[in-house]
Amino acid sequence: MKRLALVTIVVAIGASCPAARAVEEPPFEESTAVDALEHYSLGSFFEARGKFTEAIQEYVAAARETPDNPDVWGSLARVQMRIQQLDDAAESARQALEIDPDNLDALEVMVQLHVGQRDLTGALEKMKRVVELAPSDLERRVRYAELLESAHHYEEAVDQLGEATRLRPGLAQLHFRRASLLGRLGRLDEALEEHETVLRIEPDFVESLLAGAAVREASLQLGDAAYLYRRALDVDPDNLTVRRRLLRVLLLLDDTEEASAMASWVLERYPEDNDVREQYALLLLRDGEVDQARQELERVRDSEPDRLSVYKHLGRLQWDAEDFAAAHASYEAALKLDPAWAEGWVSVGYLRIQLRRLEDAIAAFTTAADLTPRNPVLPFLQGVCLNQLDQFDKAQTAFERSLELRPGNPEALYGLGIARERQQDLDGAAEAFREVIEHDPENVEALNYLGYMFAEAGQNLDEAVRLLERAVQLEPENGAYLDSLGWALFRRGEAAEALPWLEKAAEHLPEDPVILEHLGDIRSALGRSEGAQEAWKRALKADPDNRALAEKAGRR
């Protein structure tokens, strides 16, 4: 339904207009010259018939005869305004207002002049006075409400439209406009009441059905929103806007069957509608139709290459399919369109890790950190990459930054411990690992790393054994932890007690060169030369470039 301007509606129901007012009895005093009355009457006659030049001539003549009559000047200003003689209209209106500050015609001319000059403050001041002088005039009150809305004085506009609905009950358009303003103000319950009033007056008012549905949608009353959108479709079944909005709500309601039917209807008639095609692709994904969903998204991308959302959806789909290179390309395309998308930079960083592009991953995480400097995850991710690149001093700095932002974070403390240990700062590493264990006593990785670090260094061996016994208790089938415990016992001088742990570790990880070397060392310490040689040779086979192993395996 096409919405007419409120003032047009009001005029159509018979509100006063200048031409109609002009035929009223002119307010001349008894002493007024007969010529003045004749000129004024002729001016009114010509104005009513649209002969504005002749009307101006007669009003000017009347003004000469009675220069102190504000109504003559007001009528003259009104007609001059009609034919855009703005300077003359302004002068005539000023003449009228000097004589009578409450002359309605002159005040309304000044309102129009202020609006033309974009002086809404001046226009509102004059229009407010007009409404005070004519409180029962519906057209003027509606015009005042429209001016208030133009000036973003929405609360006052709502009040004026409320008065208008009391002056003339039953006008759907007035209630609709008031409902729209209430929605803009966030007064959603009142907006819904007004929309319900509109629909009682005019049940097929499509714009009110749409607006009421939108308010309910914003309030997460999705079922009610869908009901109103369906009602709007009953009135106007080919309305694309209604169908698109209903589709959006159906997706939120997870009503995939009706949503698919709605999307298909739209795409059959409007195949270029990329919004609906993208939503249709997401429906296909929900139904497990991954290949078809990808095809639909690629079609949207190809027809609208600057569409940010489609690259995000494609990137996620490709990532889930472990097509990391394609996902990376999609996210990079998204970032070209929106370089400030911090989450996108994080995703690109993760994908670059998968692609073994660690330095590029660090660059992506750095950009994300510049965009969200208080996010502790980003320096943590930088540190993880730097540890893998053996840049342990830089990794330490990154982890320390992460811990400044989120003190006590076990993951960052664990990474910090690794970075310190690899720089031979065993005390600093132990401090970090102990803090991890303090926060999370069952953090098996920290238990193992700290215990094995002590065993390798030959330090705090009793503590090392206790830590590794807890690790093995938590994960008794983990070959690496079994190896660590056996090695700590061996380093504490308990080779016989260590051997069963190493043999069990080798059963779980039969090709691990470190475990096999440890097993050979312990067998050798126990005088089992043949067993030691067998273990060392297996270790050398797994790590043929290891010179120390080669030397051990070559012994007789």
What is the identity of the amino acid at 42? L
In a domain, residue 66? The reply is yes
CA distances from 125 to 75, 107, 108, 121 (A): 21, 10, 11, 6
| Alpha-carbon distances of 457 from 314, 450, 462, 514, 546, rounded to whole Å | 50, 11, 13, 16, 21
Q: Are residues 246 and 357 in the same domain?
A: no
Cα 473 to Cα 142, 291, 448, 455, 512: the distances in Å are 80, 46, 11, 18, 22
Residue 522 pLDDT exceeds 50: yes
pLDDT at site 5: 36
Which among 536, 510, 508, 539 is positioned nearest to 521, based on CA atoms? 536
**One domain for residues 22 and 131:** yes
Q: Which residue has the tokens 């095609």?
A: 277
**Which of the four pLDDT bands, split at 50, 70 and 90, describes residue 64?**
very high
CA-based nearest residue to 363, from 444, 142, 351, 299: 351
- Say if 277 falls within a structural domain: yes
Band (76; pLDDT cuts 50, 70, 90): very high
Q: Note the pLDDT of residue 34.
A: 63
pLDDT score of 367 more than 90: yes
Last residue of a domain, one of 267, 298, 329: 298
Indicate whether 318 and 333 sit together in one domain: yes
- pLDDT at position 12, please? 31
36/231 Cα distance (integer angstroms):
61
Band of pLDDT at residue 35, cut at 50, 70 and 90: confident
Does residue 412 form part of some domain? no
Question: What single-letter amino acid sits at 314?
Answer: L
Q: Report the Cα 395 to chain-centroid distance in Å.
A: 34
Give me 398's structure tokens. Answer: 């990154």
Tell whether 100 and 27 lie within a shared domain. yes
What tokens does 211 get?
A: 């607006």
The mean pLDDT value for 43-54 works out to 94
Q: Is 32 helix (H, G, I), strand (E, B) or coil?
A: coil
Q: Cα separation of 338 and 220, whole Å?
A: 29
Instruction: Say if residue 98 is in the same domain as residue 130.
Output: yes
- Domain-terminating residue out of 100, 119, 136: 136
Please indicate, yes or no, if residue 388 is contained in any of the structural domains. no
Please indicate, yes or no, whether residues 80 and 104 belong to a single structural domain of this protein.
Answer: yes
Q: Judge whether 40 lies within some domain.
A: yes
Q: Rounded to whole angstroms, how far apart are CA atoms 316 and 330?
A: 9
| Arithmetic mean of pLDDT, 365-387 | 97
Angle between helices 444-457 and 461-474 (to 10 degrees): 150
Percent of the chain scoring above 90 in pLDDT: 83
Using an 8 Å Cβ cutoff, are 330 and 354 in contact? no
Round to whole Å and give the CA distance between 492 and 171: 94
Residue 66: the pLDDT is 92
Same domain, 263 and 324: no
pLDDT digits (tens, 9 = 90+) for 397-456: 999 999 999 999 999 999 999 999 999 999 999 999 999 999 999 999 999 999 999 999
**Whether the predicted pLDDT of 30 surpasses 80:** no
The sign of the torsion formed by the CA atoms of 171, 173, 176, 182 equals: negative
322/272 same-domain check: no
How many domains is the chain partitioned into structurally? 3
User: Are residues 288 and 320 located together in one domain of the fold?
Assistant: no
- The CA radius of gyration of the chain, in Å to the nearest whole number, is 42
> Are 290 and 317 contacting, i.e. CB atoms less than 8 angstroms apart?
yes
Question: CA-CA distances (angstroms) from residue 295 to 67, 248, 282, 313?
Answer: 80, 21, 11, 12
With beta carbons less than 8 A apart as the criterion, state whether 135 and 109 touch.
Answer: no
Residues 45 and 98 in one domain: yes
> Is 97 contained in some domain?
yes
Whole-number Å distance between alpha carbons of 516 and 511: 7
Q: Are residues 215 and 287 in the same domain?
A: yes
Integer Cα distance of 48 and 70 in angstroms: 20
Higher local confidence (pLDDT), 151 or 20? 151
Range of the domain at 71: 17-136
The two structure tokens encoding residue 96: 């009228």
**Residue with the two structure tokens 């920290």:** 446
Among candidate residues 387, 463, 439, 438, the one with its CA nearest the CA of residue 450? 463
Same structural domain for residues 244 and 312? no
CB 371 within 8 A of CB 340: yes
Question: Of 136, 160, 191, which residue sits at a domain end?
Answer: 136
Cα 234–chain centre separation:
32
d(CA 362, CA 350): 10
Query: Is 342 in contact with 368 (CB distance < 8 Å)?
Result: yes
At how many degrees (to 10) do helices 444-457 and 479-491 cross?
30
**Region for residue 97 given its phi and psi (left: phi exceeds 0; alpha: psi -120 to 50; beta: otherwise):** alpha
- SS3 per residue for 499-525: HHHHHHHHHHCCCCHHHHHHHHHHHHH
CA-CA distances (angstroms) from residue 381 to 90, 349, 352, 405, 423? 70, 9, 12, 14, 19
- The answer as to whether 275 is a domain residue is yes
> What mean pLDDT is reported for the chain?
91
Asked if the model's pLDDT at residue 487 lies above 50, the reply is yes
Spatial distance between the Cα atoms of 542 and 544, rounded to a whole number of angstroms: 6
Could you tell me the two tokens for 270? 């409007």
pLDDT for the residue numbered 189: 87
92, part of any domain: yes
CATH number at residue 348: 1.25.40.10
